[in-house]
Amino acid sequence: MSKIQIMSESLSNKIAAGEVVEKCASVVKELIENSIDAGSTDIKVELIDSGTKMIKVTDNGSGMDEDDALLCFEAHATSKLLKEEDLFNINTLGFRGEALPSIASVSLVTLKTSNGSTGVTYYLEGGVVKKKEKSDLRKGTIIEVKDLFYNTPARLKYLNSLYSELANVTSVVNRAALSHTNIRFTLINNDKVLLKTDGSGNLLKTINQIYGIEVSKKMLKLECENDDYEINGYISLPDINKSNRNHLITIVNGRVVRNSELNKVINDAYHKYKPDNRYPIVVLNILVDPTLTDVNIHPSKQDIKLSNFDDLSEMISKAIEKVLDNHFLGVDASTKEVSLNNVVKKIEQVEEETKYEEVKELVMDFSNTESMIKEKENDYNFVETDEDIKPFPKLYPVGQVLGTYIVCHNEKGMYLIDQHAAAERFNYEKYKKAMADPKHETISMLFPMNLEYPKDEFLIIKNNLEFIRSLGIEIEEFGDSSYVIKSHPTWFKEGLEEIFIKNVLEKIITMDKHFDLERFNDSISAMMACKASIKANTDLSMEEMQKVIDDLETCKNPYNCAHGRPTIIHYPTYELEKLFKRVM
């Protein structure tokens, strides 16, 4: 008997399910994409126990007739690819015909659908049709998935906690709502509404409905284009950031994608404004000819290849930097988080205590934030005028706190300046200017410095000797694995010359083949500035405090240190008076 045999359809579907259906969120994603492709304008996702017991997706799309409704559960049956050439011009979210048969093979499925002329309901168990019924003619589709992985206990065992599964599903629905703002999305878990968007087509309003007012009011509009790409969306101010990359949302022709290189470009554009371990909230729509993309490289269809990627990267990077450079980046201590969910929770709590006046105040707060969103919707311009950019305020020092923070004031309130961060910003801009335009003014070292490296690192440095010398560092080979440093630029801070030189060479070794001059200059300038600046817990005289303020005022961006931390925090007069109950 032959050893090689064709596997059964049931087995092949279960194998496909292992790639397509990893968890509850995978099912929700595939069903939502089918609803979107069907032209739906209203999609409701209902869950029981985060989807582990039941996932139900209801849409008002085109629906199907009896034959199509049955055929859609066959492997590789699709209405979206008819010939081989279509694979290179994909305009839909789904196209493989794998999702529904894969889902059906590991669950109990009920499909109710109508195209307006005929209606049918199919009941499937493990991918096999068990029952068929006529149904009403409500146009659209309702698909219900129960007991996911009931017949594959190994996969069922590795589902996450209910909280994690719900978080993953919520993320999928959030991304779908952000990528298709013209569709109303509702997410319900155990009869509790978690998300409801209005389908108005307004991206900023959708961001508000998902993230809340505190985030949406600090989102900046971005628009740019070249011959191949058109980009629009919103990016957050640097002080609105997250601990992971999950909120870097890139949408290509309506498809939410995860491209690590693209995410790196976006995050790198923020490197001057935030810590390296924090990530901004970004929602970017990228429109491109489908023939310049390839989405057929992973079963999840979330990875993507883009043509002319270098041009796209450069355009996005410059656009983000331009938007951030044209906005006030100072931190205001008067921030107050107000979102619909928080207001509703507080109102419910207050209603139980029958405090009518407090309820009224909360409703007024939310009304004000809603009206503010409406006013802001069209106010975010790609390039602001000089009048829109707030200048650095004139500040008067009055003292120091904890040997670290300079206390200042003016007619607008009180300010705290982090003396190290402020000095670092000034030194960073000074060193970066010197790095970008070396004057070749050098000073000889009293005792030449000898540095020894492993052979691979020695060769990397050797390959960059001319560049190192262009920085004003006189370096020569000394034997088979060492270099001798004889002089350095005059602007190297006295006492830190050896540290500066070692860091320059280590950075060149680290970057190696991925060397980027701008990132190199930024990194070295930031390192030098940090080492050379006033430290925390250092007492300063009033004259020294004033010099820190005066130096900060001359900076191009006085509001963040070289590593993205804030240099200054403002306490408005009104907020101070509220704290002391002078105003109510």
Integer Cα distance of 530 and 427 in angstroms: 8
Q: Residue 373 has what pLDDT? A: 43
The residue ranges of DSSP E strands in 35-153, in sequence order, are 42-48, 54-59, 108-114, 119-125, 128-134, 140-146
Are residues 204 and 216 in contact, defined by beta-carbon separation less than 8 angstroms? Answer: yes
Is it the case that residue 506 has pLDDT exceeding 80?
yes
Q: Residue 235 has what pLDDT? A: 94
Are residues 205 and 198 in contact, defined by beta-carbon separation less than 8 angstroms? Answer: yes
Mean pLDDT (whole number) for 146-170: 82
Q: Residue 78 has what pLDDT? A: 57
Integer Cα distance of 314 and 249 in angstroms: 18
Rg (CA), the chain: 30
Mean pLDDT (whole number) for 364-380: 43
Q: Residue 472 has what pLDDT? A: 87
Are residues 231 and 223 in contact, defined by beta-carbon separation less than 8 angstroms? Answer: yes
Mean pLDDT (whole number) for 137-166: 84
Is it the case that residue 354 has pLDDT exceeding 90?
no
CB neighbours of residue 491 within 10 Å: 18
- The tokens for 244 are 């992971």
- The tokens for 421 are 């961060």
The residue ranges of DSSP E strands in 278-369, in sequence order, are 279-280, 282-288, 293-294, 305-306, 331-332
Terminal alpha carbon distance of the chain: 89
Length of the chain as a residue count: 584
Domains within the chain, CATH numbers bracketed: 9-196 (3.30.565.10), 202-390 (3.30.230.10), 392-584 (3.30.1540.20)
Q: Residues 425-454: pLDDT tens digits? A: 999 999 888 888 776 688 888 888 898 888
CB-count exposure of residue 18 (10 Å: 0-12, 13-18, 19+) = middle
Mean pLDDT (whole number) for 535-551: 93
CB neighbours of residue 245 within 10 Å: 16
With both helix axes pointing from N to C terminus, report the angle between 162-179 and 203-211 in degrees, rounded to the nearest 10: 170
Is it the case that residue 369 has pLDDT exceeding 50?
no
Which one is predicted more confidently, 190 or 464? 190
Of the pLDDT bands very low, low, confident and very high (cuts 50, 70, 90), residue 388 is very low
Are residues 100 and 34 in contact, defined by beta-carbon separation less than 8 angstroms? Answer: yes
Contacts of 338 (CB under 8 A, 6+ apart): 212, 213, 214, 365, 366, 369
Integer Cα distance of 560 and 522 in angstroms: 14
Query: Range with the lowest mean pLDDT among 109-118, 267-276, 377-386, 549-558?
Result: 377-386
Of the pLDDT bands very low, low, confident and very high (cuts 50, 70, 90), residue 376 is very low
Output the CA torsion sign for 472, 476, 482, 484: negative
- The tokens for 17 are 């399910």
Are residues 95 and 120 in contact, defined by beta-carbon separation less than 8 angstroms? Answer: no
Integer Cα distance of 32 and 173 in angstroms: 8
Q: Residue 334 has what pLDDT? A: 54
Give the rounded percent of residues in the chain with a pLDDT score beyond 70: 79
Q: What is the 3-state secondary structure (H, E, C) of 9-45?
A: HHHHHHHHHHHHCCCHHHHHHHHHHHHHHCCCCEEEE
Instruction: Name residue 532's amino acid.
Output: A
Are residues 43 and 186 in contact, defined by beta-carbon separation less than 8 angstroms? Answer: yes
Q: Model-level pTM?
A: 0.66
Integer Cα distance of 354 and 292 in angstroms: 61
Q: Which residues of 381-390 are buried (b: 16+ CB within 10 A; e: fewer)?
A: eeeeeeeeee
Q: Residues 308-336: pLDDT tens digits? A: 888 898 999 999 988 987 775 666 665 44
Which one is predicted more confidently, 233 or 564? 233
Q: Residue 294 has what pLDDT? A: 65
Integer Cα distance of 359 and 445 in angstroms: 72
